[in-house]
Amino acid sequence: MSTRNLLLSIPLALALGSTVLGSAALAQQGPNLGKPITEADVGAWNLDVLSDGTGLPAGSGTPAQGAPIYSQKCAVCHGEKGEKPAPGYGPMIGLHEFKTIDAPKTVTYYRYATTLFDVIRRSMPFPTPKTLTNQEVYALTAYILSINKLIGENDVMNAQTLPKVKMPMADNFIVRFPDRI
Amino acid sequence: MTTRKRNGEAPPVEQVAGNGLLHRRALLGRGIMLAGAAATGAGTSSTSAAAEPLKEDPWSLTMGSISLPRQVPSRFENHVVRTLSNPNHEFRNSHGRTPHHLLHGTITPAALHFTICHSGLPDIDPEKHRLVVHGLVKEPKIFSLEDLARYPMVTRPCFLECGGNSAPMFSKEPLQVNAQAIHGLVSNSEWTGVLLSTLLEETGIDPKAKWFLAEGADSLALHRSVPVKKGLDDAMIALYQNGERIMPGNGYPMRLLLPGYQGNMNIKHVRRIKLLDQPAMSFYESKTYSQIIPGGKAWLFHFLQEVKSFITQPSFGHSMKGPGTYEVSGVAYSGTGRIARVMVSADGGKSWGQAALQGPVMPQAFTRFRMPWRWDGQPAVLQSRAWDEAGNVQPTRAEFVAVRGEASAPVSPLGFPNQHYNAITSWGIDNNGAIKHVYA
């Protein structure tokens, strides 16, 4: 749409009873100032991991590998072995059933285990986020799943195994407003 | 019951509901209302002492202080501040709650807008900040703030509400705290920015895209999933709040605005929009903002902040200054659209009168309601109940609890036992004029 058409469209939209809020009707075409960027160049920010495993990097880790990293980098807030967290923090070991509406929620509440890898990689450790290697993130993910009895002590977490971990609440979520998706 | 016309001058003021609620028409002219009040003999009894002779005060006899480049409120207003949940800046989130009981009108001053900062306030250089739109688009693009400033903009009022606002009301017993503590995680600003649809038009959309994730430039890279449907409807990349650049705690230099949707989804400091064929299942949507419902199931993707209202004047922390005429006032809003009606009760819901709505009534924005009330000095319970234009009605607490349950353990005013509470708030007034939080 040219500038001329854009200007013409405004009175038209107003005539149609469009308010400022319904301005999709104005169909404002921008001045095309966005610069093209390749997906490769977005890479440093492109850390999200989806529930089907999309975005999981190469590498792997086990609970045994994760335990010392957890003790060194996580326990100060989340508590040794996931117990007795610092004041103001929730426990890292959680329930497998949520029978009251105010039951404390932690990793065991997630619908997908991939969320754990994602949040550790993007947000943790809290004072120094994005300093862990992918191997460390896999190892911590394995350790935290293991202390919650969601995987075995010798299980290896990688891009193939992590999305397959069955979470206790997986089948209990109801989409609240499906018509808005 | 109606009041009697005495002098033939003032039209009668009709009582429309129990315990002294008057017809909203009384708001049209103070003279009418006061005449009506006088007719019942229930005037301003506690303040009827004769006024003292006037004299000049010191501030009327000398030049005042210097004008500042950026104004600050009078020193007599220093108590009008937000309450902070993490005043010592510990390694955790921090909530600043809006003092609704001290504010009027509909626009929340930006400095008093609620904030929830999950990892402090990022110190973002606006010249270096970038917004990238990528994923399932035809051509990924990156925008600077300077770029976006040249795009067509829109301005609209819009409330923002944390999904956890009003969570203290999940408590089995009413917590004796004020409207700021209960409802302080909702505020209303005027937002100006570029519609996301404008940017998506430029990048193009792959038809496989059903969701997008929005991610902030904060240290958590906080992200949430949003349906593309909402992105094309009314989502905005907001650049201005009440006419000035967005406050750091509200998302400087740009934030996603999703009118009517859960506050946490309105990603602050937004730096990345990635179109996806599935939701990202981020930490906040997987845990914090998916709430347990009775029976062990849970709700996921509770996008909407549903219809709600609460009375701000009078409310907990205020006290009545003797029997007489008062204006009951509060805010109503709905994530679905405009507020259609607000009813007010002074007898705990036994009878209701329709409140006046301050226009213009805008969708997904605070609507101030007002109701004249003649308090007779006897116990009363004030409530407000809102309807939106889609016909949704704010539930009573009993209706709400029947579906959503109550906390099993005692609740801290700073706690979040569950999310998305929108039932009626009740303020109980005793015969001394003290105001408590009650369930009615």
Contact B151 A109 (CB under 8 A): no
- Please report, for the domain that includes residue A66, its CATH number: 1.10.760.10
- Chain A closest-CA separation from residue B345 CA (Å): 30
DSSP H helical ranges for A57-158:
63-73, 75-78, 114-123, 134-147
Round to whole Å and give the CA distance between A156 and A161.
7
Strand partners for B22: B15
Considering only CB atoms, B297 lies closest to which of A29, A103, A174, namely A174
Tokens of residue B352, six digits? 């209701």
Contact B276 A50 (CB under 8 A): yes
- Averaged pLDDT for residues B416-423: 98
DSSP 8-state code for residue B318: B
The confidence band for A29, taking pLDDT boundaries of 50, 70 and 90, is low
- Chain A closest-CA separation from residue B328 CA (Å): 30
A40-58, pLDDT tens digit by residue? 999 999 999 999 999 999 9
The confidence band for B25, taking pLDDT boundaries of 50, 70 and 90, is confident
Considering only CB atoms, A127 lies closest to which of B91, B234, B294, namely B91
- The pair phi, psi for residue A10, each rounded to 5°, is -65, -55
B262-285, pLDDT tens digit by residue? 999 999 999 999 999 999 999 999
Residue B12 confidence (pLDDT):
63
**B133-153 b/e with 16+ CB inside 10 Å = b?**
bbbbbeebbbbbbebbeebbb
User: DSSP for B232-293?
Assistant: HHT-EEEEEETTEEPPGGGTTT-EEE-TTB-GGGS-TTEEEEEEESS----HIIIIITS-B-
Mean pLDDT of chain B: 93
Residues 6+ apart with CB under 8 A from A59: A133, A134, A135, A138, A158, A159
Q: In this structure, is residue A176 part of a structural domain?
A: no
Q: What is the domain extent for residue A20?
A: 3-35
Contact B283 A115 (CB under 8 A): yes
- Averaged pLDDT for residues B239-245: 98
Residue B415 confidence (pLDDT):
95
| Chain A: residue whose CA lies nearest to B406 | A101
Residue A150 confidence (pLDDT):
98
Q: How far apart are the first and last CA of chain B?
A: 24
Q: In this structure, is residue A179 part of a structural domain?
A: no
Whether cis (ω within 30° of 0) applies to the bond prior to A125 is: yes
Contact B140 A30 (CB under 8 A): no
Whether cis (ω within 30° of 0) applies to the bond prior to B253 is: yes
Residue A90 confidence (pLDDT):
80
- Check if the beta carbon of residue A85 is closer than 8 Å to that of residue A78: yes
The confidence band for B28, taking pLDDT boundaries of 50, 70 and 90, is low
Per CB-CB distance under 8 Å, the chain B contacts of A102 are: 170, 292, 407-409, 411, 417-418
Per CB-CB distance under 8 Å, the chain B contacts of A45 are: 132, 215, 221, 271-272
A108-127, pLDDT tens digit by residue? 999 999 999 999 999 999 99
Contact A37 B132 (CB under 8 A): yes
Q: In this structure, is residue A63 part of a structural domain?
A: yes
At residue B127's C-alpha, the angle toward residues B122 and B133, to 5°, is 80
- Is the domain of A103 the same as that of A139? yes
- Is the domain of A65 the same as that of A150? yes
Per CB-CB distance under 8 Å, the chain A contacts of B280 are: 48, 50, 118
Q: In this structure, is residue A144 part of a structural domain?
A: yes
Contact A23 B195 (CB under 8 A): yes
- Averaged pLDDT for residues B205-214: 98
| Chain A: residue whose CA lies nearest to B135 | A39
- Check if the beta carbon of residue A115 is closer than 8 Å to that of residue B282: yes
- Is the domain of A47 the same as that of A89? yes
- Is the domain of A31 the same as that of A47? no
- Is the domain of A30 the same as that of A49? no
- Averaged pLDDT for residues B300-326: 97
Contact B139 A36 (CB under 8 A): yes
- Is the domain of A160 the same as that of A88? yes
Contact A30 B151 (CB under 8 A): yes
- Is the domain of A90 the same as that of A159? yes
Residues 6+ apart with CB under 8 A from A91: A78, A79, A82, A83, A84, A85, A104, A106
- Averaged pLDDT for residues B228-253: 98
Residues 6+ apart with CB under 8 A from A4: none
- Is the domain of A71 the same as that of A14? no
Q: Report the share of chain B in percent with pLDDT over 90.
A: 90
The confidence band for A11, taking pLDDT boundaries of 50, 70 and 90, is very low
- Tell me how many residue pairs between chain A and chain B have CB atoms under 8 A apart: 210
Cα–Cα nearest to A171, from B298, B303, B404: B298
Cα–Cα nearest to B178, from B195, B194, B161, B166: B166
- Check if the beta carbon of residue B345 is closer than 8 Å to that of residue B380: no
- Is the domain of A11 the same as that of A77? no
- Check if the beta carbon of residue B334 is closer than 8 Å to that of residue B301: no
Residue B162 confidence (pLDDT):
98
- Structural domain total, chain A: 2
- Check if the beta carbon of residue A29 is closer than 8 Å to that of residue B201: yes
- Averaged pLDDT for residues B360-372: 98
- Chain A closest-CA separation from residue B432 CA (Å): 36
Task: Give the orientation angle of helix A134-147 with respect to helix A63-73, to 10 degrees.
Answer: 100
The confidence band for B130, taking pLDDT boundaries of 50, 70 and 90, is very high
B367-408, pLDDT tens digit by residue? 999 999 999 999 999 999 999 999 999 999 999 999 999 999
Q: Report the share of chain B in percent with pLDDT over 70.
A: 92
Considering only CB atoms, A33 lies closest to which of B143, B155, B296, namely B143
- Averaged pLDDT for residues B217-231: 98
- Is the domain of A26 the same as that of A49? no
> Of the segments A66-70, B9-13, B20-24, which one has the largest average pLDDT value?
A66-70
Q: In this structure, is residue A113 part of a structural domain?
A: yes
Residue A2 confidence (pLDDT):
38
Give the rounded distance of the alpha carbon of A161 from its chain centre. Answer: 18
Per CB-CB distance under 8 Å, the chain B contacts of A105 are: 287-288, 292
Residue A86 confidence (pLDDT):
92
Q: What is the pTM of this model?
A: 0.91
Round to whole Å and give the CA distance between B300 and B286.
8
Round to whole Å and give the CA distance between B388 and B151.
33
B59-103, pLDDT tens digit by residue? 999 999 999 999 999 999 999 999 999 999 999 999 999 999 999
| Chain B: residue whose CA lies nearest to A104 | B417
Q: In this structure, is residue A173 part of a structural domain?
A: no
SS3 B393: strand
Contact B286 A112 (CB under 8 A): yes
The confidence band for B132, taking pLDDT boundaries of 50, 70 and 90, is very high
Per CB-CB distance under 8 Å, the chain B contacts of A169 are: 298
Round to whole Å and give the CA distance between B331 and B359.
12
- Averaged pLDDT for residues B33-62: 66
- Is the domain of A73 the same as that of A12? no
The confidence band for B334, taking pLDDT boundaries of 50, 70 and 90, is very high
- Chain A closest-CA separation from residue B417 CA (Å): 5
Q: In this structure, is residue A110 part of a structural domain?
A: yes
Residue B377 confidence (pLDDT):
97
Q: In this structure, is residue A170 part of a structural domain?
A: no
- Is the domain of A99 the same as that of A150? yes
Contact A21 B234 (CB under 8 A): yes
The confidence band for B49, taking pLDDT boundaries of 50, 70 and 90, is low
- Chain B closest-CA separation from residue A113 CA (Å): 10
